[in-house]
A and B are shown apart, each in its own frame.
Chain A
Amino acid sequence: DTAVSQTPKYLVTQMGNDKSIKCEQNLGHDTMYWYKQDSKKFLKIMFSYNNKELIINETVPNRFSPKSPDKAHLNLHINSLELGDSAVYFCASSRDRGENTGELFFGEGSRLTVL
């Protein structure tokens, strides 16, 4: 069983389109995250979600919106895609947050290419 799974693994789309990436974790964790990894390999936090509390990285454009139907799922919806959105997006989870965060478990990544 995959602990953190995300789909699709690859996504190629045109500028201006809207797309979603889904993420599910079966670890019973309370906190989930979305990260963006660009061509320079920096991992940048986009969102973290814990017990219905959403913490947003203020640098993330509002075209990006996370949606969590329950604590095992955190989906990422992107409106009006731009060329600069091309990157690998990683979903991750941890058992809690703050001092009880522990290690992060990552999904396999979703490579988004915007043409």
Chain B
Amino acid sequence: GQNIDQPTEMTATEGAIVQINCTYQTSGFNGLFWYQQHAGEAPTFLSYNVLDGLEEKGRFSSFLSRSKGYSYLLLKELQMKDSASYLCAVVDSNYQLIWGAGTKLIIKP
């Protein structure tokens, strides 16, 4: 079967750095997305990786290792507004999106 694993919940301090991991086992791979979802709101696109390596976009970076079936989202200089769920989603060989359950990130002052 297809599976996406992320930690259920993480806590970090305002101003710090946090890394949210995602491991996947899917039938094929055609890219990996990270989405942010604030409570009661829609998921919004953060990043897309299809090649190995690090993609940096402001305070957020996303890393991919296809050989290890592993990605992480790195959030720097955490702000209170970064409190949200972060969803990892993999595009499989049929170009279907397989979603993880998301990681709830709690930022404390």
**A contact set with B: CB distance below 8 Å:** 4, 40-45, 90, 97-99, 101, 103-109
Contacts and interface: CB of A to CB of B under 8 A. Distances in A.
B42 A103 contact: no
Interface residues of B, number: 19
24 contacts: A41-B101, A41-B102, A42-B101, A43-B43, A43-B87, A43-B89, A43-B99, A44-B99, A45-B97, A98-B95, A99-B30, A101-B95, A103-B45, A104-B33, A104-B43, A104-B45, A104-B97, A106-B42, A106-B43, A107-B42, A108-B42, A109-B40, A109-B41, A109-B42
B101 A40 contact: yes
Interface of B: 30, 33, 40-45, 48, 85, 87, 89, 91, 95-97, 99, 101-102
A108 B43 CA distance: 8
A42 B41 contact: no
Contacts of B41: 108-109
A22 B106 CA distance: 33
B58 to A, nearest CB: 17
Contact of A42 (B42, B91, B97, B99): B99
Given A101-B95, A103-B33, A106-B43, 8 more contacts: A40-B101, A43-B89, A104-B97, A106-B44, A108-B42, A109-B40, A109-B41, A109-B42
A70 B42 CA distance: 23
Contacts of A4: 42
A45 B89 CA distance: 12
Nearest to A44: B99
